[in-house]
Amino acid sequence: MMNYSNNALNFSYLLLDYYKELNIKENELAVILMIDHLLSQDNEFITKDVLQLKMSLSSKEIDNAMTSLYQKKYIEFVVENNTAKTSIRPLKKILYKKFEQSIFSEEELKRNEESVKLREEVFSLLEEIFSRSLSPIEISRADEWIKANVDRDIIINSIKDAKVRNELSINAIDRIIINKIRSLNN
């Protein structure tokens, strides 16, 4: 799944667009919007009592809405650093995934997932053989291989070949990849 920053997509817009499809009732929608509003004001633990101060819904209506949202796994209550917090992250993940699915075809999503997996595999292997984190230039070069649709086996085998030859640089790996591609095309 693609990662979206909190400001990249408007949560309220997505929520209003998809709430019916997610089986969210209007009372629940109002509660979610108020929780999001309170979270944006650095409130961490939002209870029905806090919501009741801001909303015209009854205590029972708010409680029912929060219980339903929790059961649907749209909101969660977590403890971080001995502090209880209310979170709508699960709902945001669902909404962002729905948005992603609406703009990308199944084939594009599958290709993106495969690309993300290959990227993680390549970066992990490079960090392992270099015995350190990758530099921005190294990350960029490895990304170029993936974006150019260089076969997974060619990339992985080239990294391993560079290790065997004790040529532990991104330029050496790049040369090995280029040579392997040339030999395949001849």
The C-alpha atoms of residue 24 and residue 7 are separated, in whole angstroms, by 23
Q: Decide: 155 and 177 in contact? Cβ < 8 Å.
A: yes
pLDDT of residue 6: 42
Question: Whole-number mean pLDDT of the chain?
Answer: 86
pLDDT of residue 5: 41
**What mean pLDDT do residues 18-38 have?**
94
| Segment 153-175, tens digit of pLDDT | 999 999 999 999 998 899 999 99
Q: Decide: 145 and 155 in contact? Cβ < 8 Å.
A: yes
pLDDT band at 107 (very low <50, low <70, confident <90, very high): low
3-class secondary-structure state, position 178: helix
pLDDT of residue 109: 64
pLDDT of residue 4: 44
Which residue has tokens 């990849």? 177
As a whole number of Å, the end-to-end CA separation of the chain is: 37
3-class secondary-structure state, position 64: helix
The rounded percent of the chain whose pLDDT value lies above 90 is 48
Residue 112 predicted with pLDDT over 80: no
HSE-up (13 A, CA, CB side) for residue 186: 6
pLDDT band at 148 (very low <50, low <70, confident <90, very high): confident
| Segment 48-79, tens digit of pLDDT | 999 999 999 999 999 999 999 999 999 999 88
pLDDT of residue 62: 94
